[in-house]
């Protein structure tokens, strides 16, 4: 087994003694797993490893002979932000090894790419693009790959060309991986990062005249889980709001659109839906003026109790007075029940939602506008967790969202938002994640990661808080104060998680039985 660097993602900068202790424990845990596998293995460091601690735990082994092959590891390490070279001790060892006598085949392991931009046959390609090569893609990837390659790759390639011993050269670092290519007598390959997608790994077979590669992943094992997780396995977190008004289009709002957007820009929001009452407000100009925010068109259907309709290009479905019919027509939109118990109890009812032939996407579990002082005094609700929970218990698979319902300057600004785990910061990718539940609702608590594997759910928070896993009928399955929370499904119809610390809250989506 070959591990070509970045065994851990160790934080940059000076680390506290506690963090250093955690790093060592993680390496020890990984080594224990590898030792217990019964396989021979070699590891080389990457730029995200802590080299000193890594080699305190793992043997710093240069060579391993197995089944007539000699595996050779190189310990090149980059100070982040500068070019990486194979030099000094590593270059001397490399020169000696490739020129050493003997008939054994060598397999070289290093973290960085050995890449010659003049040789297009050696260019790794993003997953799915191998058969769609274009001149534009070539230029784009050449620039990307330079940042992942040895600055003296040409020297390394030339030495390999002159040796008859280097059968295979394996690199890491470049997460998408590469196609397997041959130059002279040496094959070059970058395996996709194990942390991507469904934890892909590669099996290579070395023959006298060729090397072959097969990709495998754990997708089948994930799909065999008894639990359906709405969260994608790989992506980035984006913060945004889905319920925003402006004075030009909503008579109840007091702030014009442009100043409102400026406020959200200062708060580093990355997506925003403009949802005025029974009107679609154009986002064309603000999208040009504020490209750092992904904008969506939408409206708040305001006949009787309210509902949001959000899409990349909204249609005036508010003209359909019966929301049941509007939801059918807008079945591809993101549709959210607004403030179910604001401005009063019974504003929405679970029985009414059950009567919808096409259910909305989800429910506001928190509405920041109804959380301000005046509405609280008037008895309006702002936390609608129990309404959402009763809807789940009634068999409706609805997701949870938290919104400002922005109207009035600072008073209802950034009281609540949604954190979306999406593949890309594009309108299509973020909206897809929102509609499929790859997001959580927040009034201040931040979730670092959400994982589910074979029925076990693990939630990591940024800060310590009191966290609770709930099952149906508000059953408390687990409750503790921590940063990390874990539970295994025991055939509950669904499990959801929420946490609170000094008034700040967060809500995950439900994990349903498959």
pLDDT at 263: 95
Same domain, 148 and 65: yes
193-238 pLDDT per residue, tens: 888 767 889 999 998 888 999 988 887 777 778 899 999 888 899 9
Q: Give pLDDT, residue 103.
A: 58
Are 226 and 219 in contact, with CB atoms under 8 Å apart? no
Amino acid 127: pLDDT: 41
Query: Are residues 265 and 321 both part of a single domain?
Result: yes
Q: Using CA atoms, how far apart are residues 439 and 7, in angstroms rounded to an integer?
A: 28
For residues 191 and 268, membership in a common domain is answered with no
Q: ω before 343 within 30° of 0 (cis)? A: yes
Domain boundaries, position 77: 2-217
Pairing state of beta strands 166-171 and 186-190? Answer: parallel
Q: What are the structure tokens assigned to 122, written together?
A: 């050696």
Q: Using the 3D structure, point to which of 191, 217, 243 is the last residue of a domain.
A: 217
Domain boundary among 217, 248, 269: 217
Do 458 and 486 contact (CB within 8 A), yes or no? yes
Is the per-residue pLDDT at 81 higher than 70? no
> In this predicted structure, what is the pLDDT of residue 126?
42
pLDDT for the residue 412: 85
Domain assignment present for residue 265? The answer is: yes
| Contact in structure between 467 and 485 (CB atoms under 8 Å) | yes
User: Is pLDDT of 29 > 60?
Assistant: yes
| CATH code for the domain in which residue 63 is found | 3.60.21.10
pLDDT over 70, % of the chain: 90
φ/ψ of 300, rounded to 5, equals -105, 110
Residue 86 included in any domain: yes
Domain final position from 155, 186, 217? 217
How confident is the model at residue 168, as a pLDDT? 95
Count the domains in the chain.
2
Residues 284 and 405 placed together within one structural domain of the fold: yes
Instruction: Looking at the structure, tell me whether residues 295 and 160 fall in a common domain.
Output: no
Q: Tell me, yes or no, whether 222 lies in a domain.
A: no
> Which domain CATH number covers 322?
3.20.20.140
Measured distance CA(364)–CA(387) in Å, rounded = 9
In this structure, are 152 and 233 located in the same domain?
A: no
Residue 295 has pLDDT above 70, yes or no: yes
Cβ pair 443, 383 in contact under 8 A: no
Domain check: are 253 and 353 in the same one? yes
Please state, as a whole number, how many other Cβ atoms lie within 10 Å of the Cβ of residue 468.
Answer: 16
Contacts (Cβ under 8 Å, ≥6 apart) of 40: 1, 64, 66
DSSP state, 282?
-
- How confident is residue 102, by pLDDT bands cut at 50, 70 and 90? low
Query: Does the pLDDT of residue 376 top 60, yes or no?
Result: no
Task: Judge whether 223 lies within some domain.
Answer: no
Residue 66 tokens read as 């197995």
Residues 392, 38: Cα–Cα separation, whole Å:
46
Query: Of 285, 356, 276, whose CA–CA distance to 308 is shortest?
Result: 276
User: Residue 179 above 80 pLDDT?
Assistant: yes
Based on the domain organization, do 180 and 280 belong to the same domain? no
The pLDDT assigned to 217 comes to 83
> Are 429 and 346 found together in one domain?
yes
Choice between 121 and 363, residue whose per-residue pLDDT is larger: 363
Contacts of 479 by beta carbon, 8 Å cutoff, 6+ apart: 466, 467, 468, 469
Q: pLDDT band for position 143 (50/70/90)?
A: low
């Amino acid at each position: 087994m070959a591990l070509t660097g970045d065994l851990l993602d160790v934080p940059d900068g000076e680390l506290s003694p506690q963090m250093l202790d955690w790093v060592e424990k993680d390496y020890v845990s990984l080594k224990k797993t590898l030792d217990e596998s019964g396989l021979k293995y070699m590891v080389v460091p990457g730029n995200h490893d802590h080299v000193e601690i890594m080699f305190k735990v793992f043997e710093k082994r240069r060579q391993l002979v197995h089944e007539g092959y000699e595996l050779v590891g190189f310990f090149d390490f980059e100070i982040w932000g500068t070019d990486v070279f194979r030099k000094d001790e590593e270059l001397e060892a490399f020169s000696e090894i490739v020129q050493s006598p003997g008939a054994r085949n060598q397999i070289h392991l290093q973290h960085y790419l050995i890449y010659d931009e003049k040789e297009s046959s050696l260019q790794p390609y993003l997953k799915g693009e191998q058969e769609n090569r274009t001149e534009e893609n070539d230029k784009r990837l050449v620039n990307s790959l330079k940042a992942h390659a040895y600055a003296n790759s040409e020297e390394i390639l030339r030495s390999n060309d002159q040796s008859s011993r280097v059968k295979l050269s394996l690199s890491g670092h470049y997460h998408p991986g590469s196609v397997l290519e041959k130059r002279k007598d040496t094959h070059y390959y970058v395996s996709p990062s194990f942390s991507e997608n469904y934890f892909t790994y590669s099996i290579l077979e070395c023959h006298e005249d060729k090397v072959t590669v097969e990709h495998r992943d754990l997708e089948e094992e994930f799909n065999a889980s008894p639990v359906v997780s709405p969260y994608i396995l790989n992506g980035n977190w984006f913060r945004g709001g889905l319920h925003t008004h402006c004075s030009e289009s909503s008579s109840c709002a007091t702030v014009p659109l442009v100043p409102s957007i400026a406020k959200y820009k200062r708060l580093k929001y990355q997506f925003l839906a403009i949802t005025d009452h029974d009107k679609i407000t154009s986002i064309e100009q603000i999208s040009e003026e504020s490209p750092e925010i992904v904008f969506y068109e939408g409206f708040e259907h305001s006949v009787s109790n309210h509902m949001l309709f959000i899409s990349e290009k909204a249609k005036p479905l508010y003209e359909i007075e019966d929301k049941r019919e509007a939801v059918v027509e807008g079945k591809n939109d993101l549709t959210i029940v607004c403030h179910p118990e604001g401005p009063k109890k019974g504003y929405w009812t679970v029985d009414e939602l059950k009567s919808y032939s096409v259910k909305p996407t989800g429910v506001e579990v928190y509405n920041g506008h109804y959380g301000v002082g005046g509405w609280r005094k008037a008895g309006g609700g702002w936390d609608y967790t129990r309404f959402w929970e009763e809807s789940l218990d009634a068999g409706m698979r609805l997701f949870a969202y938290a919104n400002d319902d922005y109207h009035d300057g600072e008073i209802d600004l950034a009281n609540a938002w949604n954190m979306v785990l999406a593949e890309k910061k594009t309108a299509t990718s973020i909206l897809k994640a929102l509609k499929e539940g790859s997001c959580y609702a927040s009034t201040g608590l931040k979730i670092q990661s959400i994982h589910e594997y074979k029925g076990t759910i693990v939630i990591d928070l940024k800060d310590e808080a009191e966290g609770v896993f709930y099952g149906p009928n508000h059953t408390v399955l687990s409750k503790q104060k921590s940063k990390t929370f874990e539970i295994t499904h025991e055939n509950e119809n669904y499990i959801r998680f929420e946490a609170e610390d000094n008034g700040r809250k967060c809500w995950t989506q439900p994990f349903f039985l498959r």
